[in-house]
Amino acid sequence: MAPIYSRIIATGSALPERVVSNADLEKIVDTSDEWIRTRTGIRQRHIAAEGQTTGDLAFLAAQRALETAGVKAAELDLIVVGTTTPDLIFPSTACLVQDRLGANGCPAFDVNAACSGFMYSLGIADKFIRSGQSKKVLVIGAETLTRMIDWNERETCVLFGDGAGAVVLEAASEPGVYATCMHADGGYKELLWNPVGVSAGFSDEPNHGVRIKMAGREVFKVAVKTLDSLVDETLQAAGMHESDIDWLIPHQANLRIIEATAKRLQMPMERVIVTVDQHANTSSGSVPLALDYAVRSGKVQRGQNLLLEAFGGGFTWASALLRY
Ligand code: ACO
C-alpha cells in the first residue's frame, strides 16, 4: 500500500482586540519598555476581553483556516486542540469548538503540553492521518494564558499574551509532514508551572491561587540547550540538512532563545519568523499564529521546507519538519 502523509492545506489565526504595550505595563509594575525589549524582544501583547475565552479564539482561528481551505466543518474527521487554559474542566475545548463549528460526531480532544501543545497536537494529528484513521483534521493551538498571571509579579506578567492559531491537515500521497518529534521531562515540573489543579490545591473561590510560577533564568538555559538537540534530531528524522530549511518558525517566548536556535541552524534571522514582538508568549497559540502570519504576509511559499519547534512547561518540547 502506498504510504499516506499529512500536509497543511490552510492556516488561520485570531487575536483579541485589546493591545497592551510595554508602556502600559510600566503603569502597573516596576518595569520598563527598555528592560522588556532587551531581555525578551516583546513590545506588546493582545489580551482577551472579559468573558472572551480560549474557545472563542480557537473557534475564530478555526473558521478562518476552514474558510481558506474551502473545507466544510462536516468534512472534518478529527479535531485536536493544544491548550493549557481550557474554557472548562470538561467538556474539552475541542468539544466546545466542534459544536460551534457544526462538526458534531468526529473525535475531538484537548492536549495539555503547555507551550508545546500545538506541536504535540500536530504530531498526533499527523499520526492519525498516516495510519489511515483520518483524512481531514483541524489542529488548533489556543490560549488565554493572561487569565492565570499575577499582575503584581513583574517577572512573569510582562511575558505572556493571548491568541490562537489553526491549521487544516489533509491526507496526501506526498509529504507534507516529513517528521515530528515529541519529548517531555517531568523532572523539571517546578521550574515552570501552575501548582493549582482540580485534584490539588483546588478551591471554589474565584481565581484562588491560579498563577504561573517560573524560574526564568533556569528555564532559559534548559530551553536553549534542549532546542539545540531537538533541531538536530528533527533534521536527522527527516533525512535533511540545515541548508534544506527555508524557514524556522519557532515558539515565540523570547527573542534571545529564538536567535540561539537560528544560530545553531546557521540560519540568518531573515529566514526566521518572529512575532514575539507583537504577540508575546501565547503558549500553544504561538507557533500556529506565527505560521499564519508567515503564510498570509507572503513570506512562506508553497513548496518551502519549514522547521517548527516549541518548548514549555513540563518540561515538554516538540517539533515538525514539513513541506508547506
Ligand atoms: N522588569 C524589570 N526588571 C525585571 C523584570 C521586569 N519585568 N523581571 C525581572 N527583573 C529583574 C530581576 O528582578 C533581576 O533583578 P536583580 O538582578 O536585581 O535580581 C533582573 O531583572 C535580572 O533578572 P534575570 O532573571 O536574570 O533576567 P534574565 O536576563 O534571565 O531575563 C527572562 C528574564 C526574560 C524571564 C528570561 O530568563 C527568559 O526569557 N527566560 C525564559 C522564559 C521562557 O522562555 N519561558 C517560556 C518558555 S516556556 C513557555 O513558553 C511557558
Domain containing residue 224: CATH number: 3.40.47.10
User: Is there a single domain that holds both residue 43 and residue 141?
Assistant: yes
Residue 193: CB atoms within 10 A of its CB come to 17
Given 122, 143, 174, which residue is the final one in a domain?
A: 174
What was the pLDDT predicted at 201?
84
| Protein residue closest via CA to atom 29 of ligand 1 | 39
User: Is there a single domain that holds both residue 134 and residue 188?
Assistant: no
Given 130, 145, 174, which residue is the final one in a domain?
A: 174
Given 120, 149, 174, which residue is the final one in a domain?
A: 174
Identify which of 143, 218, 219 to mutate to test ligand 1's pocket (most ligand atoms within 8 A of the CB). Answer: 219
User: Is there a single domain that holds both residue 140 and residue 182?
Assistant: no
User: Is there a single domain that holds both residue 59 and residue 187?
Assistant: no
Contact indicator for 78, 134 with CB cutoff of 8 Å: yes
Provide the domain count of the chain: 2
User: Is there a single domain that holds both residue 86 and residue 150?
Assistant: yes
pLDDT string in tens for the chain (324-residue length): 899 999 999 999 999 999 999 999 999 999 999 999 999 999 999 999 999 999 999 999 999 999 999 999 999 999 999 999 999 999 999 999 999 999 999 999 999 999 999 999 999 999 999 999 999 999 999 999 999 999 999 999 999 999 999 999 999 999 999 999 999 999 999 999 999 988 888 887 776 767 899 999 999 999 999 999 999 999 999 999 999 999 999 999 999 999 999 999 999 999 999 999 999 999 999 999 999 999 999 999 999 999 999 999 999 999 999 999
User: Is there a single domain that holds both residue 18 and residue 151?
Assistant: yes
User: Is there a single domain that holds both residue 168 and residue 251?
Assistant: no
User: Is there a single domain that holds both residue 209 and residue 153?
Assistant: no
Q: Pick from 292, 277, 301, 266: which is nearest to 141 by CA?
A: 292
Would you state the cell numbers that stand for residue 296, as one nine-digit string?
498570509
The boundaries of the domain holding residue 313 are 178-323
Residue 250 Cβ inside 6 Å of ligand 1? The answer reads no
Contact indicator for 180, 126 with CB cutoff of 8 Å: yes
Residue 256 Cβ inside 6 Å of ligand 1? The answer reads no
Residue 217 Cβ inside 6 Å of ligand 1? The answer reads yes
What was the pLDDT predicted at 207?
65
What was the pLDDT predicted at 12?
98
- DSSP codes of every residue in 83-138: -SS-SSSSS-HHHHHHHHHT-TTS-EEEE--GGGHHHHHHHHHHHHHHTTS-SEEE
User: Is there a single domain that holds both residue 139 and residue 189?
Assistant: no
Spatial distance between the Cα atoms of 66 and 60, rounded to a whole number of angstroms: 10
Spatial distance between the Cα atoms of 178 and 258, rounded to a whole number of angstroms: 22
Give how far the C-alpha of residue 228 lies from the chain's centroid of Cα atoms, to the nearest Å: 19
Residue spans of alpha helices (H) in 44-92 = 54-69
User: Is there a single domain that holds both residue 41 and residue 101?
Assistant: yes
User: Is there a single domain that holds both residue 87 and residue 184?
Assistant: no
